[in-house]
Amino acid sequence: MGRVRSAEPGDVGLLAAIEVAAGERFRAVGMDDIADDDPFPEEVLLAAVADGRLWVAELGGAVVGYALGERVGPAGAQHHLEQVSVVPEAGGRGVGAALVEAVADWARAAGAPSLTLATFRDLPWNGPWYQRLGFATVPDAELDEALRAVRAHEAELGLDVAQRVCMRRAL
């Protein structure tokens, strides 16, 4: 699989291209608007490096993926997987799963009882993939304040929340 490590400031310039390449897969399912979404701004990623919540995956010495953790909810108490992106050429090699584990390790080290995320419910590389990694769907009626805020933010960004699901994995 290569290795996963904490991101460094010098990695940040590589991540937009990784996110764009990973997003191309949405075109095959008619979700061009998602594929066209802008990558995270460098200043957001640099802040994440400084906070110790950004990881990169390397294969053969090249950075091929990244994961971004966030703290959400009241006082940032909940640990949340905000983004995982892997270049298509590195798909199917466990890179994404290793990145998710790095974020889970970060949350666990902080004493978090769980890690949450929001993703597309039915796309094979989204909801079903995270389920295989131990995440379970949080029913809409059971969304806590933090996940309701995540859902509201996604709606503000124009995402169809009917296609989205919040998930949680116990740590």
Query: What's the CA gap between 66 and 77, in Å, rounded?
Result: 23
| 3-class secondary structure per residue, 67-128 | EEEEEECHHHCEEEEEEEEECHHHCCCCHHHHHHHHHHHHHHHCCCCEEEEEEECCCCCCHH
Using alpha carbons only, how large is the chain's radius of gyration in Å?
Answer: 15
Contact 57/99 with Cβ under 8 angstroms? yes
Separation CA 80–CA 129 (nearest Å): 17
Q: What is the mean pLDDT of each run of 10 residues along the chain (171 residues)?
A: 94 97 96 94 98 97 97 88 96 95 97 96 96 97 94 92 96 96
Q: What is the pLDDT of residue 65?
A: 98
**pLDDT confidence of residue 75:** 77
Q: What is the pLDDT of residue 114?
A: 96
Q: Which CATH class is domain 3-170?
A: alpha beta
What pLDDT score does 153 carry?
Answer: 92
- Which tokens sit at 57? 């995956």
Both tokens assigned to 65: 């993926």
Structure tokens at 155: 């709606």
| d(C-alpha 23, C-alpha 102), whole Å | 21
